[in-house]
Structure 1
Amino acid sequence: MDFSEKPVLTGDKTVLRPFTVEDADVMWEIVNDPEVVRFTFEPTTELSLDRLRSWYGVRTADPDRLDLAVTDRATGELVGEVVLYAWDPSARSCTFRTLLGPRGRGRGLGSEATRLVVGHAFEQVGLHRVELEVYADNPRARRVYEKAGFVVEGVRREAALRDGVWVDEVLMAVLDHEWRRTEATQGTGEPRLHTP
């Protein structure tokens, strides 16, 4: 299995759906938010609206990654993204990343979106492992990942120079059997899957 199917995942607070070219304008605002820039991009990253339009215009074509827009279920507003990438079929693993703009923070949308897409990776795609990297000075993201069952596997000490300060990168992962245990304890239920 791979990420050829681009599902719509529906939770209580969020709907995760495939991106469209039209999402680029809102994502342009989101990726320029100072907190998103601080915790997501390398300092040398150069983005433009045209580059984002072409990026989001082809996200639904890649079978080796899954990029989904995070939307507020109540309003339909696009608030961020979740991404599964660096798929390794032989190890049945991939890497996860997410980012949320200011209107998506502090309401549990990121926690639910993380659980929905990681659940999809294990339950529908059949992965064994999902990993991520998070800056050590981003405790909010770490809490979200820990609630979803991710555990710290190591620290890359002073791995990034951010605004003149050396920052550690924390390596985290969750395995399929750990995911099942976390879901059973939290009782969050199954995500409702819809195909576009």
Structure 2
Amino acid sequence: MFKTERLVLRAYTTADLQTILRIANNPLVQRTLISEHVVPRSERFAVKLEEIANQALLYVVLEAVDRGGEVIGAASLAVDSVKNRDVNLGIGLLPDVWNKGYGTEATRFLVDYAFRDLGVHRVSLNVLENNKGAIEMYKKIGFVEEGRRRKANWLDGKWHDSVYMGILEEDWLKPSEN
């Protein structure tokens, strides 16, 4: 279990499955996380969630201390390339906690943990261009846009780009205000 100022980042357990499924089933969350159709996810989707949790290098449930320990989301670091020491960051939060700093707090912790404790060289992520708040937050932390898949996601009757971002160990660990 890890603690930040307002969060507890703890190991996922099967007791969390229904809560995480509820978060993943939220249409607003789906619009920011996946490039598939926004549809209600059945219990079969729970199998996929379990696979994600079990295959990730680190998969944590996010509890907000200042909200009575409420589970507000989940985050993961998944190995993209062992040889190149590259991990993919993923994070999903309940919409009622968006723009309150929880995502920034969790992401900063996970990036720092990846570099300082896991010996990672780079942290990568993919974010849909319509998720402007997340892109702004990632840039604030130090991620840079590294590329785009143009018109990769059909949403609300128009095409949106998929944005690839990354941050390198040397950029994170240099003296700054991370």
Contact between 1:30 and 1:101, CA under 8 Å: does it hold in 2?
Answer: yes
**Residue 14 (structure 2) aligns with:** 21
Deviation track 1:141-163 (CA, whole Å, cap 9, x = no partner) reads 01121122101112221112223
Give the alignment's TM-score, normalised by structure 1: 0.81
Q: Is 1:73 aligned to residue 65 of structure 2?
A: yes
- In 2, the alpha carbon distance for the partners of 1:58 and 1:87 equals 13
Distance 1:23 1:13, change over 3 A: same
- In 2, the alpha carbon distance for the partners of 1:114 and 1:148 equals 8
**Residue 137 (structure 2) aligns with:** 144
Distance 1:28 1:58, change over 3 A: closer
Contact between 2:25 and 2:40, CA under 8 Å: does it hold in 1?
Answer: no
Unaligned ranges ≥5, structure 2: none
1:66 CA displacement: 1.5
1:174 CA displacement: 0.1
Q: Percent identity?
A: 31
In structure 2, give the amino acid aligned to 1:36: V
Give the root-mean-square deviation of aligned CA atoms. Answer: 2.2
Distance 1:55 1:171, change over 3 A: closer
Secondary structure of the corresponding residue to residue 176 of structure 2:
helix
* Equivalent in 94, 113, 116 of residue 120 of structure 1: 113
Secondary structure of the corresponding residue to residue 27 of structure 1:
helix
Question: Larger relative contact order (C-alpha < 8 A, sep ≥ 6)?
Answer: 1
Unaligned ranges ≥5, structure 1: 1-7, 189-196
1:164 CA displacement: 2.9
Deviation track 1:90-137 (CA, whole Å, cap 9, x = no partner) reads 101111111101233222110000011111111111000111111111
Distance 1:53 1:73, change over 3 A: farther
**Residue 185 (structure 1) aligns with:** 176
